[in-house]
Structure 1
């Protein structure tokens, strides 16, 4: 079956939709389905997308293509709507640079079924569902009516009350009423009197917590800001604007025009003037706020909400529950997940970055209350007429009262989403769950009475293929995917491992087996883990579940009951599955797998220790060998060797804990005598941007040393505040750290930070040969690239290939030189398998090119959003193809050693 995956769209959640579309594209069972990527742009045009663009980090990285974006002073990325009014010819030209523009009447020629990962307006509101029904295309999820209900929070309120569900008191405030209100303080008083404090403000047609605020006190300014946020409007005061530096003004405009955090673009002023582009807005504000000019300017998005939903705050525990339907159409609520978050709002960042919130499944409550939540969710699913699956959110108070709100007909489909997290509890991996969605959706569309005979034939054909696929499930190579660890990079390691697992599980060649590594530098413990534990929220949750199993804690009673009620689903899509973690020795691992994929970062994994254990039992593995790994794990040693071989690196030194403890004054003086502020401080043997800081003052240096050299795991408050550590940011405890001079432009006509990937293979002569990919240009919002920018879908801005020059011929000349430099680094360090090399590039006035190496990662991050996949796509490798080549090299290397 050809599956048209429709993703992107006009909504503010388009980046999550884009990432979700990529998840579906990669995880569809390749023995059953052929994926057809259909990108909906922000103006509603459909594009049959060239597959390599799916692996860009964000939509703005490829669309609109960089060559059609006008050159601007600050080079800000933008969405299509910022190009202003476009003719049909211009839209066709832009679309055809990334694929082929298509129209709905052509859908039937291109795919048999539409898998919808669109979110928000146009995607979840019945619009796309109605379009597909008109053209006779079966699609995933609920139909038109339940979709229209699922998007409208205000309509839901009336229906919830009508069907007897508890719902918090609420008021609806229209935009017209708000602007007509002279005494906004009196309005606030009235709302507090009716609803109490805190007040919850919501944009009625948005998801991902966009446009949501909580007002905890009777503060008029905060109230006005919250209403404006829900209406996607903002009033800028002259005094505030003029008090900002140029850099702060630029960052303000970046945030203001962000579709998730700000109000987005285009915007209109009070006079009706339309502003399309970020630079245009920056220019307007700079010229508008003069000494004798107006005191304020109000900007409103052209797709602003016209109402605000204001609710009484529910003081309770928050949960989310996926409801699916069985073969007979009856709903089954999967185990509800409790959301434990760091802030008050389960916001965009907390939802989609691993480790920032915790998902506890099932919610930690007595069995009777969990079952009551499930029963309420099943009743709501039926009452609103939902089909196939839905995600229902809610709260349970201390008195046991259950409030359901925001039922969603489409769930986020990132690997860490509730969607897959809860399906794993009945034994379905993501690939199997997607097959379930497609088959169940087909059966549901047949009930509509449209195209009944054709849809029945399609369903029967799919069921025959599924039967054939089950018969050949055991003819595959077994790959142990090792993830987790105990470093500050363990959560990213789990994300990488899950991504590798998911790419392999949908293949026709490999059967992946998830292996979790625990322990410390002295001892490693390996566990084969079930799919439901692998898909826990982060590494700490996985470890907690393994520890509980080892201690003999039985599986939760509710999980057993749900597994029993869903057995008809599980048996059809998954077959037999592992029920609890199993401890393994390295010798037992050798008997279980044909090869392993190490998805660990830093220590252990990249330091040669794990490789030594695997080689004892001739287990093939990915990445570099023992000696190369021992070198590249240590940034200081790597820099030293490269410098000895004439490769430009930053000036560097190690700062030791023993020197710090003996004499702090002398310790800091020695650093200050060797390096001028600002400089870079970072752990010498961790990656993933873990604790990398730009140190600008003695106070910051003292704070960094205190954190790295602390004796307790808990991070002290004072140095954390000095270094502006973000929520849940971890700093490892080390015996030394690395200091490097800050690499700067130094007179170069062009200066940029890049990250380049490479892949190795054996040539005809049996020697290792290198394929170096086009590097990505990394754009950091802050002082250094953050964890989010590297690994969170929709966050990082990586432009691939890097923009070394505007002239294409000159750009390629510089790129070829950089690739030669990266290849030489790989040869010096004897890198094998694959790697990522971070560097700065200076293009000097005489056009000479200088590549300054920052660090080498022998096991680079392999999360879905990492830019190495953007690079491999240019060379024709989909992520699965890249992973397959990495594994093939490892198996060939082991064969050579054995023979």
Structure 2
């Protein structure tokens, strides 16, 4: 069946939709479906996207294309709407750079079914659903009416009350009333009297918690700012603007035009004129404040809300519950997940940035209360006429009152979202759950009485394919995907491992088995884990669950009941039931698998220890061999070897705990004598930006040393504050750290940080051939590239290929020189399989190139958003193809050694 995946769109949630569409594209079962990517741009054009662009970090990295971008003095990134009013011809030129324009009447030529990964207005409100029905295309999820209800928070309030659901007190602020400044304070007074404090302010047609604020105290200024935020309007004051200086003004503009947390573009001025481009806005603000007596400028997004929903605050546990339909059309509420937040509000960042919130499934409550939540969610699903699946959010108070709010007909589809997290509790992996969604959606569209014969045949054909696929499950190559570990990189390892598992599970060639590794350097402990444990929030949650079952723990009674209720679904799509985690030895691993994919980062995994265990038993594995791994795990040793071969590296030295303990002052003075501030301090044997800090003074050096050499597990709060450590940021405990000079421009014409990937294969004569990819240019928001910027969808900016020069011929010539430098590094270190090499590049006046190596990762991060997939796409490899090549190399290496 050809499945058109609709993603992107005009809404403020387009980046999450883009990342979710990529998840669906990668995870659709390749034995059942052919995925057709349909990117929807912010003007509503439908584009059959060239697949390479699916693996870009954000929409703005490829659309609008570079050729269509106007000159921007400050390099401000834009979406299509910032190009102003475009003619159809101008739009066609832009679209042709990314793919092929599709007209709705052509949809049938390209796909049989539309999978909707669109969010917010136009995607969840019945608009796209109505269009697809008009053109006789079956689609996923709810129909037109429930979608229209699901997007409108204000309309939902009335329906909740009419159907007997508890709902907090609420009121609406009309935009026309808010525009009259004389009414604002009385509006605030009336709302406080009516609803009490705190007040929750919501933009009623937005998802992903966009445009939400909480007003805790009787403070009119905070309230005014919050309401403006929900209306997507902002007043800029002359005194504050001029006090900032240009750098802070630019930062402020970037925040202002952010579609998620700012007001977005284009903006309407008070005189009725419209500004489209952020650069134009920046210049307008500066010109207005410098040339007139105006003391403020009010900007409003051209698609602002017409009213703001104000609710009374509910104190209680927050939860989210996915409800699905069985084959008889009856709702089954999956186990509700408790959202434990780092701050008061489950906002956009808390939803999508790792570590800012935690998901606990099922919610930590007595069984009766969990069942009541499920019962209420199932009732709401029926009362609102939802179909196939929905995500229902709510609160439960200490007295057991349940408040449901914000039902969503489309859930976020990132790999770690509630959508997959809860489906795993009945044993469905992401690929199987997507098959369930498609099959159930076709059956639901059949109920409308439209296209009955066509839809019946489509359903019969799909059912037959599902049965045939189950019959051939055991013909596949078994791959153990080892994830987790016990280092500060364990959470990224789990993200990588899950991504590898999901890519392999949707293939026709491999049958992956998730393996969780924990323990210590002295003793590795391996466990096979079921899908519901693998999709827990992070490595620590997985470890906790594994140990719970190891001690004889039983499945939660609610989970046991849900598993029983959903047995018909589970058996149809998996052919089996959930198993408990089992501890295994390396010998048992050999019997369970044909090959292993190591998705670990740092120690263990990249240090050769695990490779040694696998080689003893002749188990094929990915990545470099034992000796090469032992070298590259140690950044100091890597630097030493490369320097001996004449490869440029930063000046470096090890700072040791024993010297620090003996004489702290001499320790600090010794470093300061060799390395002038600022310099870089980092662990010598950890990756993923863990504890990499730019040290600018003695106070920061002392704080860094104290934290890394500490005896206790807890971090000293004063030292953490000195180093500006982020919320829940981990800091490893080591006996030494690496000090390096800060690599700077040093007079170069062009200077940039890059990360370059590579892949190896065997030539016919058995020699290793290196395929070096086009490197990505890494742009850091802070002093060093953060974990989120490296690995999280929609965060950070990796420009692939790197911008070495504006002229394409010169750019390629410089790129080829850099690639040769990276190839030489790989050969010196005897890297195999694949790797990522980070470096700084100086382009000198005569286009001479200096490539200064920072570090080598022998098992680079393989999360969905990592830039190595942007690079492989240029060479024609989809992520699955890349992973397949990596595994093939490992198998061939074992064969060449005569071990298979």
TM over 0.5: yes
Aligned residue number for residue 811 of structure 2: 811
CA distance in 2, matches of 1:473, 1:498: 20
1:261 aligns with 2:285: no
Q: How far off is 1:350 after superposition? A: 1.8
CA distance in 2, matches of 1:268, 1:639: 54
Q: 2:234 is paired with a residue of what secondary structure?
A: strand
- Tell me the alpha carbon deviations over residues 349-381 of structure 1, each in whole angstroms, 9 at most, x when there is no partner: 221233321111111111111100000000000
- Tell me the alpha carbon deviations over residues 5-29 of structure 1, each in whole angstroms, 9 at most, x when there is no partner: 0000000100000000000000000
Q: How far off is 1:236 after superposition? A: 1.0
CA distance in 2, matches of 1:29, 1:725: 41
Q: How far off is 1:333 after superposition? A: 0.2
Asked whether the 8 Å contact 1:529–1:578 carries over to 2, the reply is no
1:384 aligns with 2:399: no
Asked whether the 8 Å contact 2:570–2:577 carries over to 1, the reply is no
Asked whether the 8 Å contact 1:265–1:301 carries over to 2, the reply is yes
Aligned residue number for residue 7 of structure 2: 7
Asked whether the 8 Å contact 1:52–1:873 carries over to 2, the reply is yes
CA distance in 2, matches of 1:558, 1:318: 18
- Tell me the alpha carbon deviations over residues 547-578 of structure 1, each in whole angstroms, 9 at most, x when there is no partner: 11111121100000000000010010011144
CA distance in 1, matches of 2:374, 2:83: 47
- Tell me the alpha carbon deviations over residues 628-675 of structure 1, each in whole angstroms, 9 at most, x when there is no partner: 001111111111111111111111111111111111111111111111
Aligned residue number for residue 744 of structure 1: 744
1:578–1:567 CA distance, 2 compared to 1 (3 A): closer
Aligned residue number for residue 214 of structure 2: 214
CA distance in 1, matches of 2:673, 2:577: 61
Question: Which of 449-458 and 290-299 deviates more?
Answer: 290-299
Aligned residue number for residue 48 of structure 1: 48
Aligned residue number for residue 604 of structure 2: 604
Q: How far off is 1:445 after superposition? A: 0.2
Q: 2:235 is paired with a residue of what secondary structure?
A: strand
Asked whether the 8 Å contact 2:426–2:578 carries over to 1, the reply is no
- Tell me the alpha carbon deviations over residues 316-351 of structure 1, each in whole angstroms, 9 at most, x when there is no partner: 000000000001000000000000010111122221
Q: How far off is 1:209 after superposition? A: 0.8
Aligned pairs for 1:631-650 within 5 A: 631-650=631-650
Aligned residue number for residue 170 of structure 1: 170
- TM value normalised by structure 1: 0.99
Aligned residue number for residue 336 of structure 1: 336
Aligned residue number for residue 516 of structure 1: 516
Q: How far off is 1:285 after superposition? A: 2.0
CA distance in 1, matches of 2:285, 2:681: 37
CA distance in 2, matches of 1:115, 1:307: 31
Asked whether the 8 Å contact 1:52–1:870 carries over to 2, the reply is yes
Q: How far off is 1:288 after superposition? A: 2.2
Asked whether the 8 Å contact 2:8–2:17 carries over to 1, the reply is yes
Question: Which of 828-837 and 790-799 deviates more?
Answer: 790-799
Question: Which of 454-463 and 647-656 deviates more?
Answer: 647-656
Q: How far off is 1:215 after superposition? A: 1.1
- TM value normalised by structure 2: 0.99
Q: How far off is 1:306 after superposition? A: 1.4
CA distance in 1, matches of 2:733, 2:272: 56
Aligned residue number for residue 681 of structure 1: 681
- Tell me the alpha carbon deviations over residues 281-309 of structure 1, each in whole angstroms, 9 at most, x when there is no partner: 22222222228632111111111111111
Aligned pairs for 1:154-553 within 5 A: 154-290=154-290, 293-553=293-553
Aligned residue number for residue 22 of structure 1: 22
Asked whether the 8 Å contact 1:618–1:898 carries over to 2, the reply is no
Q: How far off is 1:113 after superposition? A: 0.1
Q: 1:840 is paired with a residue of what secondary structure?
A: strand
- Tell me the alpha carbon deviations over residues 37-60 of structure 1, each in whole angstroms, 9 at most, x when there is no partner: 000001100100001110011101
Question: Which of 286-295 and 208-217 deviates more?
Answer: 286-295
1:734 aligns with 2:734: yes
Q: Which runs of 5+ in 2 are unaligned?
A: none
Aligned residue number for residue 670 of structure 2: 670
Q: How far off is 1:73 after superposition? A: 2.0
CA distance in 2, matches of 1:268, 1:753: 38
Asked whether the 8 Å contact 1:530–1:577 carries over to 2, the reply is no
Q: How far off is 1:183 after superposition? A: 4.9
Tell me the C-alpha RMSD between the 2 structures. 1.0
CA distance in 1, matches of 2:68, 2:179: 39
Q: 2:622 is paired with a residue of what secondary structure?
A: coil
Q: 2:865 is paired with a residue of what secondary structure?
A: coil
Aligned residue number for residue 658 of structure 1: 658
CA distance in 2, matches of 1:570, 1:327: 12
1:66 aligns with 2:45: no
Q: 1:378 is paired with a residue of what secondary structure?
A: helix
Aligned residue number for residue 566 of structure 1: 566
- Tell me the alpha carbon deviations over residues 392-435 of structure 1, each in whole angstroms, 9 at most, x when there is no partner: 00000000000000000000000100000000000000000000
Aligned pairs for 1:807-886 within 5 A: 807-886=807-886
Question: Which of 153-162 and 519-528 deviates more?
Answer: 519-528
Q: How far off is 1:158 after superposition? A: 0.4
Aligned residue number for residue 576 of structure 2: 576
Q: 2:473 is paired with a residue of what secondary structure?
A: coil
- Tell me the alpha carbon deviations over residues 421-462 of structure 1, each in whole angstroms, 9 at most, x when there is no partner: 000000000000000000000000000111111010011011
CA distance in 2, matches of 1:119, 1:292: 42
Question: Which of 724-733 and 869-878 deviates more?
Answer: 724-733
Asked whether the 8 Å contact 1:600–1:859 carries over to 2, the reply is yes
Q: 2:332 is paired with a residue of what secondary structure?
A: strand
Asked whether the 8 Å contact 2:596–2:619 carries over to 1, the reply is yes
CA distance in 2, matches of 1:530, 1:302: 48
Q: 1:217 is paired with a residue of what secondary structure?
A: coil
Question: Which of 262-271 and 336-345 deviates more?
Answer: 262-271
1:490–1:577 CA distance, 2 compared to 1 (3 A): same
CA distance in 2, matches of 1:271, 1:492: 50
CA distance in 1, matches of 2:759, 2:293: 59
CA distance in 1, matches of 2:194, 2:671: 61
Q: 2:755 is paired with a residue of what secondary structure?
A: strand
Asked whether the 8 Å contact 2:13–2:119 carries over to 1, the reply is yes
Q: 2:838 is paired with a residue of what secondary structure?
A: strand
Asked whether the 8 Å contact 2:571–2:577 carries over to 1, the reply is no
- Tell me the alpha carbon deviations over residues 232-258 of structure 1, each in whole angstroms, 9 at most, x when there is no partner: 111111111111132211111111111
CA distance in 2, matches of 1:305, 1:124: 16
CA distance in 1, matches of 2:226, 2:706: 39
CA distance in 2, matches of 1:782, 1:440: 46
Asked whether the 8 Å contact 1:253–1:282 carries over to 2, the reply is yes
Q: 1:97 is paired with a residue of what secondary structure?
A: helix
CA distance in 1, matches of 2:647, 2:273: 54
Asked whether the 8 Å contact 1:355–1:491 carries over to 2, the reply is no
Q: How far off is 1:186 after superposition? A: 3.3
CA distance in 2, matches of 1:286, 1:394: 44
Question: Which of 706-715 and 405-414 deviates more?
Answer: 706-715
Q: How far off is 1:765 after superposition? A: 1.0
Aligned residue number for residue 110 of structure 2: 110
Asked whether the 8 Å contact 1:614–1:620 carries over to 2, the reply is yes
